[in-house]
Amino acid sequence: MRVTIGDLLELKRRGERFAMVTAYDYTSARLAERAGLPLMLVGDSVGTVVQGHDTTVPVTLDHMVYHAQMVVRGSDHAMVVGDLPFMTYASVDDALRSAARLFQEAGVQAVKLEGADEALDVVRALTVRGLPVMGHLGYTPQSVHTFGRQIVRGKTVSQARKLLDDALALQEAGAFAIVLECVPAPLAARVTGNLRVPTIGIGSGPGCDGQVQVWHDLLGLFPDFVPRHAGQYAKLGDLATEALRAYAAEVADGAFPCDKHSSALPEDTMRALLQAVESA
């Protein structure tokens, strides 16, 4: 049985915090599943940490369907949430078509979209049709060309009031949870306390109901850059580099492969085979 919206609401009611991680393929999903994480986000962050773009804007719906298919195949228990990428929910009709692909072709259990305002009609249209929606407020990466790299949101009274109003509006529109990205911790805690639905923080302090981290940040796969909000629990990038160097060195000096890495046949079979080849 997969984690449901009801399960998440019950966690909030009991005050139990939960973790979500991004996943982009079958292997990452299997590992997160083995670790027992209840939520996986197939994020459009795939554009930066996998595809190598500077922003998430180039990510297409085809990309999201492709990666979500792999994550769904790799998970059994976790709820899988797929991002609606840039400009795929500019209108209600666009959003319905885009979400339908993620649900039907990839098999996700929910979708996530950024912002409020015009997006509220989209949230209502999706949820009334039984398509669960996770909201996303604060720093919204798809708006990078509007807001630039000023990451922290809610730094002024007007911004803080709008963020709280937007969170309440998303809840009333039907969102079952809201990601708060790079929101000042006291404000994120206030928003969390004012909502019936859970909040999921990233760079927004410990007062949220859940936390989300990007796979590559959490595991230290980008050793040259660690975001301030990243909880780095391993340095797999360094380990991978060391392993690759060792592999290259063993190939160069003939230590790899050895007999145990090589295909073989029984000795008499191999002898007969070679004799047949030589006499051919």
Number of structural domains, the chain?
2
Quick one: pLDDT at residue 221?
Answer: 94
Q: How far is residue 222's CA from residue 239's CA, in Å, rounded to a whole number?
A: 12
Non-local CB neighbours of 146 within 8 Å, separated by 6+ positions: none
Clarify whether residues 95 and 230 are in a common domain: yes
Clarify whether residues 162 and 251 are in a common domain: no
Closest C-alpha among 257, 280, 218 to residue 21: 218
Closest C-alpha among 112, 119, 120, 32 to residue 77: 32
Quick one: pLDDT at residue 228?
Answer: 86
* 240 belongs to a structural domain: no
User: Which residue type sits at 212?
Assistant: V
Q: What is the pLDDT of residues 186-215, one digit of tens each?
A: 999 999 999 999 999 999 999 999 999 999
Average of per-residue pLDDT across 167-176: 98
Q: How far is residue 144's CA from residue 53's CA, in Å, rounded to a whole number?
A: 13
Q: Say whether 218 sits in a helix, a strand or coil.
A: helix
pLDDT at 24 over 80: yes
Active site residues: 181
Quick one: pLDDT at residue 148?
Answer: 64
pLDDT at 128 over 80: yes
Model pTM above 0.75: yes
Clarify whether residues 251 and 216 are in a common domain: no
Q: How far is residue 280's CA from residue 265's CA, in Å, rounded to a whole number?
A: 20
Quick one: pLDDT at residue 48?
Answer: 94
User: Which residue type sits at 257?
Assistant: P
Clarify whether residues 136 and 98 are in a common domain: yes
- Mean pLDDT, the chain, rounded, equals 95
Angle between helices 157-173 and 119-128 (to 10 degrees): 20
Clarify whether residues 221 and 258 are in a common domain: no
Q: By residue range, what is the domain housing residue 267?
A: 245-279
Place of tokens 């909030």: 12
Query: Angle at the Cα of 176 (from 171 to 177), degrees rounded to 5?
Result: 85
Q: What is the pLDDT of residues 223-251, one digit of tens each?
A: 777 888 899 999 999 999 999 999 999 99
Non-local CB neighbours of 203 within 8 Å, separated by 6+ positions: 139, 151, 181, 182, 183, 227, 228, 229
